Amino acid sequence: MVANYLHPGIYIEEIPSIRSIQGAPTSVAAFVGVTESGPFNTPTLITSWNAYTRQFGNLIWFGMNSWAVYEFFMEGGASCYVVRVGDLGNGKVAAVTLPSSGSGTKINTASAGDWGNSLLINISNNTSTTPSGGKTTQSPVFNLQVVVEAQTIDAAGANPSLATHMLVAYVTQNGLTTTVINGQNYYVLESFNGFTDAGAGFVGRINSHSMFIRVETTDGKRPNNTASPTKLQGGAASNWDLLSGMNALKTVQGLSLLAVPDTVTIVKNGVTDTAAQSQMINQGLSLCQDMGSLFYATDPPYGQSVQNIVAFKTGTLQNGQALNSSYGTLYYPWAWIFNPLSNSNVPIPPSGPALGRYAYTDGTIGVWKSPAGVNDGAMRSVVSLALPLTDADQDTLNPNGINTLRNLINYGNVIYGARTVSQDTQWTYLSVRRLFIFVEQSLKNSLQWVVFEPNDQQLWAGVTRDVSAFLNTLWQQGALFGATPQEAFFVTCDSSNNPPETRMLGQLYIDIGLAPVYPAEFVIIRITQKTAGPDSGG
């Protein structure tokens, strides 16, 4: 605006100052997968675990998304988007109706899948003995137990199904022992005691605390006793539409991290389909690269050996696809966390706690710091790891871009790797890739004012000034390497890279060079023996 000075007086003019470059968000995660409830393919902002339960339900067995979000908040995350996916197939929950004097109580598994066909429900009475005659009578108070036949667990060595192996791991990890019911051995997975009827208290307690079952309908009456536990039936595996869930993220701004933990439950004939899982992961990596703002923490298939997980990453396991992208990373092995609702330990894929450490490290230091090591990689809520790894194991895993979870003496369970799955040595380290994503997105968001401005020296000077100020701040914070700003970065926006022919096309070029800080992945302490001599100062 050109001022008109037509009369004597004081005129106030506001002079535009440097336009600051605002840093893009780096720790807003997206979790795509199976949830108990909620809208389908609709990214929903969640800022706490309580907010998640209100929108999407509780922790569910064989629904890995809920556990990943739970661990994200436990390990330092502050906000995320959750996308519930639908079923492209004919997935069904296993179910049973417990008879009563009325219409009965229908129990479903908490998530779809044939895994629920192994479960049974046992209804038992409390008993009491009269003081006088010593007669034992049944109390009106009854208990509900979720059980599995002991032979299902004990004979699982010949059964390669993912569902069975996870139940075996659950029984073993929690030290469950067999219970005899009507002459047969069972393992009790969950127990709910002290009910007098199947009313609101019964429904609320089971549906909010069980990870295995849900009460779908009830007549409110007490279920009848049965001689033996009643089997759930009809469960069928789903074909989860993970790709549509991931594509729904294209409309969300401000995302920076991605996890799709339910890739681990992709099965074929009950067995983990690692080829299909690697294909789905690659589709997620392609999405991240196309969007330019997302970084994908991928999960390994369950129960794989060190050799198999290397084969999974390189694409030689079951004719899978190699994972090769600077926009993602792979963690191994699975982790065990404590579920306070069931007072038991549960196996989960590692992406949830890993992204929680990303958010924590971004908030306390910055995106340029690797979320790994005994401090920033410490997973406080992880109680144990599915496989104890050795230095020799990591000698195989680390060069292949597989980040390990390790249990270290004096430090506990930590993330002990900081690499992408890329074969390009420029992008070996995830902190370097995430720093460049951060800078690129920050400049993209904050330089929108430049579009349609006159492409002249004044614009070039303003852009150079603003970008240099932003990068200088990053250098001062320790994100860039160099003793001086000139060593850490350069910004070129002048006639040398904007000649007349490019200006005639409406194009403005801003060339930026960054010297990122690389993590000290290998610390070599060199010690030599000092030989005493006449000049040793002794």
Q: What pLDDT, on the 0 to 100 scale, is given for residue 289?
A: 96
HSE-CB at 267 with a 13 A cutoff on CA atoms is 20
Rounded to an integer, what distance in angstroms lies between the CA atom of residue 116 and that of residue 357? 33
Rg (CA), the chain: 29
Residue 512: per-residue pLDDT = 95
The per-residue pLDDT for range 132-173, each reduced to its tens digit, is: 555 555 578 899 999 999 999 998 877 778 889 999 999 999
CA distance 133 to 154: 42
The CATH number, out of the four listed (1.20.1730.10, 3.40.50.11780, 3.40.50.620, 3.40.930.10), of the domain defined by the range 29-88+238-431? 3.40.50.11780
Closest to 98 in 3D by CA, of 209, 194, 193, 223? 223
Q: What is the C-alpha separation between 277 and 230, in angstroms, rounded?
A: 34
Contact criterion met (CB below 8 Å) for 91 and 373: no
C-alpha to C-alpha distances, 476 to 366, 420, 481, 517, nearest whole angstrom: 12, 26, 10, 12
Under DSSP, the state recorded for 198 is: B
Q: Do residues 294 and 288 make contact, with C-beta atoms less than 8 angstroms apart? A: yes
Helix-strand-coil split of the chain, %, nearest 5: 30, 25, 45
Euclidean distance between CA atoms 79 and 100, whole angstroms: 45
Is-contact 251 45, C-beta < 8 A? no
In the DSSP assignment, the letter for residue 361 is H
For the chain, which residues score pLDDT lower than 50?
A: 129, 538
Residue boundaries of the structural domains of the chain: 29-88+238-431, 95-231, 450-533
Residue 480 has a pLDDT of: 95
User: Tens digits of per-residue pLDDT, 364-409?
Assistant: 999 999 999 999 999 999 999 999 999 999 999 999 999 999 999 9
Please report the sign of the dihedral spanned by the C-alpha atoms of residue 122, residue 126, residue 129, residue 135.
negative
**Residues composing the chain:** 538
What's the rounded Cα separation, in Å, for the pair 514 and 503?
25
Helix/strand/coil for 200 = helix
Q: What pLDDT is stored for residue 6 in this prediction?
A: 84
The C-alpha atoms of residue 396 and residue 402 are separated, in whole angstroms, by 9
Write the burial class of residue 454 (CB in 10 Å: 0-12 exposed, 13-18 middle, 19+ buried).
exposed
Q: Which pLDDT value is given to residue 520?
A: 82
CA distance 49 to 121: 29
Do the beta carbons of residue 313 and residue 330 sit within 8 Å?
yes
Of the candidates 180, 186, 192, 99, the one whose C-alpha atom is nearest the C-alpha of residue 144 is 192
Burial of 61 (0-12, 13-18, 19+ CB in 10 A): buried
Name 385's Cβ contacts closer than 8 Å, sequence gap at least 6: 333, 334, 335, 336, 405, 406, 407, 413
